[in-house]
Amino acid sequence: MKHNNNPNIIIDTHNKIKNMEIRGAGRIGRAVASALKEYSLTIQNIENNEFKEKMIEAGGMLKSARPTAVSLPNAVNYVLSGLNTNNPKENIILNAEKFIKSSSEATSKIGKIGSNRIKDGWTILTHCNSEAAISVIKTAHNSGKNIKVICTETRPRNQGYLTAKALADEGIDTTLIVDSAVRYHIKDVDIVVVGADAITSNGCLVNKIGSSQIALMAYERKIPFLTAAETYKFHPKTIIGETIEIEERAVGEIHEFEEKYKDKIKLRNPAFDITPSQYIDGIITEIGIIPPQGAWHIIEKYFGNVFKETL
């Protein structure tokens, strides 16, 4: 990727996503939409192909920041679909604003819909740090339900601490546990709600590493496992057989062994895993709770025309 040809706003956003200063699928989507809008405003001459080429190059660079969360290419493609119109700059700006607004609205709609699944007195388990899952929990709490939440630590980056603090700030009864304590605590859990980095056309969930083992434990105890996923978290290309790349991050995030062991002990750090559809009770979207089997229809409905691949 030619960093030199990209302006600061694009390079900065790319780097912040890569080093996880900006993280979480929804935030990543909104950040790239906003960066593309700001960048388009800096390009004066839009008469020739240069505008289009520059925007496409910027979109490509943003897409390369992290490989798994589909909100990233979906947001870039949605914004860049403005290039195929008579007023490309105007439509890039409009699309970016539309994406950011509808992403935020979707999170609150998901909160309202998902909170209907939570009953007074229930304990919810969540993993990692998902705006959409937190929206479900907060809405249940704000509607007067007396709930408790168990948050996993979410090694190695410990995003669970962010979730625990956000919930405690709302006055929600919050407990933080280490990831390996989920099965110990699952007897106290009534429902699991997690976020989503991507949903495939056959209804599988790609989310933070550890989500699939939690789903398996919930399945064993017959506890509902739900994922909160805006429609832009559905992966259009899985419908044509593409598979999703699971990001492997630097192993230094896990541990630094002393010199003696560096060559003797391998470390692996996959950041996401795949939860098969049979362990998922429902996908909470802004248009309702759909069964995992409905994922194909969502992709067809939302990505058939709108989210065209422009790169």
Concatenated DSSP letters of 14-61: HHHHHTTSS-SHHHHHHHHHHHHHHHHHH----SSHHHHHHHHHHHHH
Q: Which residue among 12, 120, 128, 263 is the active-site one?
A: 128
Stretch that binds ligand RUB, among 5-13, 79-87, 195-203, 283-291 (CB under 6 A): 195-203
Which contacts (CB < 8 Å, 24+ apart) does range 214-220 have?
Answer: 214/125, 214/127, 214/152, 214/182, 215/275, 215/279, 215/280, 216/279, 217/182, 217/183, 217/186, 218/125, 218/186, 218/189, 218/192, 218/279, 219/278, 219/279
Interface residue with ligand RUB among 6, 10, 26, 219 (CB under 6 A) is 26
Is residue 171 within 8 Å of residue 144, measured between CB atoms?
Answer: no
Q: Which residue among 151, 197, 204, 281 is the active-site one?
A: 197
Our answer to whether residue 197 is catalytic in this structure is: yes
141 vs 157, beta carbon nearer ligand RUB = 157
The 201-240 site mask, x for binding ligand RUB (CB under 6 A), equals ------xx--------------------------------
Our answer to whether residue 151 is catalytic in this structure is: no
Q: At closest approach, how far in Å is the CB of 106 from ligand RUB?
A: 10
Residue 86 token pair = 């008579």
Single out the residue of 131, 136, 250, 139 nearest to residue 197, CA to CA. Answer: 131
58 vs 133, beta carbon nearer ligand RUB = 133
Single out the residue of 131, 178, 180 nearest to residue 151, CA to CA. Answer: 178
Q: Exposed/middle/buried for 168, CB within 10 Å: 0-12, 13-18, 19+?
A: middle
Rounded to 10 deg, the angle between the 88-115 and 131-142 helix axes is: 50
132 vs 151, beta carbon nearer ligand RUB = 132
Residue type, 12: D
* Window 56-85: residues binding ligand RUB (CB under 6 A): 69
Place of tokens 């739900």: 226
The 233-272 site mask, x for binding ligand RUB (CB under 6 A), equals --------------------------------------x-
Contacts with ligand RUB by CB under 6 A: the residue count is 17
14 vs 23, beta carbon nearer ligand RUB = 23
46 vs 251, beta carbon nearer ligand RUB = 251
Is residue 299 within 8 Å of residue 234, measured between CB atoms?
Answer: yes
Strands 173-177, 205-208: pairing kind: unpaired
159 vs 212, beta carbon nearer ligand RUB = 159
Stretch that binds ligand RUB, among 23-31, 170-178, 251-259, 291-299 (CB under 6 A): 23-31
Element (H, E) at 100: helix 88-115
Q: Is 196 in the site for ligand RUB (CB under 6 A)?
A: yes
Residue 239 token pair = 């419908």
Q: At closest approach, how far in Å is the CB of 174 from ligand RUB?
A: 17
Residue number, nearest CB to ligand RUB: 195
Place of tokens 């168990």: 150
* Window 129-148: residues binding ligand RUB (CB under 6 A): 130-132
Residues with a catalytic annotation lie at 128, 197
Chain positions contacting ligand RUB, by CB under 6 A: 23-26, 69, 128, 130-132, 159, 194-197, 207-208, 271
